[in-house]
């Protein structure tokens, strides 16, 4: 059975982690390759304008497989060098696949997002949580450090103090606390999660696709560049977009007081 189930709805793609029997734990052999292959293909597909990532069953993702950790099997077998390489091939390949997306990504967090599962949600641009969602960075409780890039990522999502509280305490917070902390945009009833996420995705997908992807790229680059570099990138990007048909369509639609129909031209 494939790890990732894919459903297309117009310009929106819903990707479901389909390992409900293990609470969508990740790190098995082939997981990194499957994420990398799928999300690379979606990134190259100009018809894809927004992606929703969610989990099958009751969990978004429980992160690493604790049973495999205890038994030192699968991704957690071998000596130190083999473990390091396993993280790179399996877990870090998933992180690179999501962080490298130019397409806007919404995490529809249907249940617990723990450890790497919490990181997985944080790779999304927007997070919408079910009332059943829980978030935890519980690495220290297992005698580990955040091994998936979370020490870099989580402070950028919720700030250093909140991230430190989660890492150092190992606490698991509920969806409403996550919303108060800015980790998620909104909390919705479980049965409304996909519909709410889809409604937002459709609004996003109605935007000009080139400008949409470039805006996301500028936001990501802005996390590590200085202000002058950000302004220079903005000027160069804006000049290119002034030459597009979508820019003309946006101007015409505003003048005609109608909905713009963007094509990516």
Q: What is the pLDDT of residues 35-48, one digit of tens each?
A: 999 999 999 999 99
* Whole-angstrom distance, CA of residue 198 vs CA of residue 183: 19
| pLDDT score recorded for residue 156 | 95
| pLDDT score recorded for residue 252 | 93
The yes-or-no verdict on residue 74 having pLDDT over 90 is no
| Distances in whole angstroms, Cα of residue 118 to Cα of each of 72, 114, 123, 153 | 23, 5, 9, 10
| pLDDT score recorded for residue 77 | 79
The yes-or-no verdict on residue 172 having pLDDT over 80 is yes
pLDDT (mean) for 6-16: 98
What DSSP character marks residue 4? E
Helix (H) or strand (E) holding 230, with range, is helix 227-241
Mean pLDDT (the chain, rounded): 94
* Whole-angstrom distance, CA of residue 176 vs CA of residue 185: 10
Residues composing the chain? 265
Pair 27, 81: CB distance under 8 Å: no
Question: pLDDT: is 240 or 149 the higher one?
Answer: 240
Strand-pairing partners, residue 51, are: 13, 105
pTM value is 0.94
| pLDDT score recorded for residue 89 | 80
| Domain at 4-205: CATH architecture | Alpha-Beta Complex (3.90)
Instruction: Give ranges for CATH 3.90.226.10 in the chain.
Output: 4-205
Helix (H) or strand (E) holding 12, with range, is strand 12-17
pLDDT digits (tens, 9 = 90+) for 192-222: 999 999 999 999 999 999 999 999 999 999 8
| pLDDT score recorded for residue 29 | 85
CA–chain centroid gap for 73, Å, is: 27
Cβ neighbours of 95 (radius 10 Å): 22
User: Token pair for residue 216?
Assistant: 């996301």
* Whole-angstrom distance, CA of residue 50 vs CA of residue 210: 12
């Amino acid at each position: 059975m494939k790890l990732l189930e894919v459903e297309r709805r117009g310009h929106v793609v819903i990707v479901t982690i389909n390992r409900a029997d293990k609470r969508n734990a990740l790190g098995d052999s082939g997981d990194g390759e499957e994420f990398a292959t799928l999300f690379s293909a979606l990134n190259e597909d100009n018809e894809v304008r927004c992606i929703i990532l969610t989990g099958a069953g009751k969990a978004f993702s429980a992160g690493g497989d604790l049973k495999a950790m205890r038994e030192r099997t699968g991704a957690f077998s071998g000596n130190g060098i083999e473990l390091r390489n396993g993280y790179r091939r399996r877990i870090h390949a998933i992180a690179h696949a999501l962080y490298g997306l130019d397409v806007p990504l919404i995490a529809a967090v249907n249940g617990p997002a723990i450890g790497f599962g919490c990181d997985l949600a944080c790779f999304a641009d927007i997070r919408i949580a079910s009332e059943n969602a829980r978030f935890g960075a519980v690495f220290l409780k297992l005698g580990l450090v955040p091994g998936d890039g979370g020490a870099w990522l989580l402070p950028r999502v919720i700030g250093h103090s909140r991230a430190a509280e989660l890492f150092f305490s190992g606490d698991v917070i509920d969806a409403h606390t996550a919303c108060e902390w800015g980790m998620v945009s909104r909390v919705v009833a479980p049965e409304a999660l996909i519909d709410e996420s889809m409604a937002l995705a459709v609004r996003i997908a109605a935007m000009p696709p080139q400008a949409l992807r470039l805006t996301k790229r500028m936001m990501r680059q802005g996390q590590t560049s200085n202000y002058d570099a950000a302004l220079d990138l903005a000027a160069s990007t804006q000049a290119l977009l002034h030459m597009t048909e979508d820019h003309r369509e946006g101007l015409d639609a505003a003048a005609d007081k109608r909905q713009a129909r963007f094509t990516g031209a």
